[in-house]
């Protein structure tokens, strides 16, 4: 049964005392991330899609030909881990790697027509998910405020 804490209901079935963490921003960020990812995973469960895979596809819609290393860095993913993500999307036929024409050691990423079609199929689900997030935050102004504050950590 949720408890009323600071005018909001918080699930606490174990009746643990969270007062020491009440103002801990890191704790709140992590809980928010878990809630958003859980909702994303539920929304996309029928598609078997992970948030990272979706982020790569979405990023490539406006960044065709970006270096593999640039996409990994932009998404905050270690290059070694990113290779497996790219392998998975490439094996599904959604993206392809091409060697750079200026530096043959560099891999550039491109969306395939199948990837573009798949992403179009996913967009209504993502729009519904984003609406849910927006509703949790209380509207566009609050979302913009949260995003502005969070950008301080990585911009």
Closest by alpha carbon to 36, among 47, 51, 48, 19? 51
pTM of this structure: 0.81
Number of compact structural domains in the chain: 2
Task: Supply 62's token pair.
Answer: 């406006």
- Please report, in tens digits, the pLDDT of each residue of the chain (155 residues total): 454 455 565 666 677 787 888 889 999 999 999 999 999 999 999 998 889 999 999 999 999 999 999 999 999 999 889 999 999 999 999 999 999 878 888 899 999 999 999 999 999 999 999 999 999 999 999 999 999 999 999 87
Taking 3-state DSSP, the helix, strand and coil percentages for the chain, each rounded to the nearest 5, stand at 60, 10, 30
Q: Are residues 142 and 101 in the same domain?
A: yes
Domain holding 75, by residue range, is 44-151
Same-domain check for residues 29 and 49: no
| Whether residue 17 is found in the same domain as residue 29 | yes
| 7 φ/ψ angles, rounded to the nearest 5 degrees | 65, 20
70 and 140 housed in the same domain = yes
Please indicate, yes or no, whether residues 29 and 65 belong to a single structural domain of this protein. Answer: no
* One domain, residues 38 and 50: no
Q: Which residues pair with residue 99 across a beta bridge?
A: 107
């Amino acid at each position: 049964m949720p408890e009323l804490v600071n005018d909001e209901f918080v699930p606490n079935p174990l009746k643990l005392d969270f007062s020491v963490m009440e103002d801990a921003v890191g704790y709140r960020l992590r809980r928010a991330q878990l809630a958003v990812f859980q909702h994303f995973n539920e929304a996309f469960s029928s598609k078997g899609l992970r948030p990272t895979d979706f982020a790569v596809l979405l990023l490539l819609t406006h960044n065709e030909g970006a270096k593999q290393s640039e996409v990994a860095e932009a998404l905050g993913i270690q290059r070694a881990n990113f290779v497996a993500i790219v392998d998975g999307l490439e094996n599904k036929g959604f993206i392809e790697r091409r060697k750079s024409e200026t530096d043959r050691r560099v891999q550039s990423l491109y969306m395939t027509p199948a990837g573009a079609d798949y992403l179009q199929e996913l967009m209504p689900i993502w729009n519904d998910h984003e609406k849910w997030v927006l509703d949790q935050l209380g509207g566009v102004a609050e979302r913009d405020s949260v995003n502005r504050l969070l950008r301080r950590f990585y911009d």
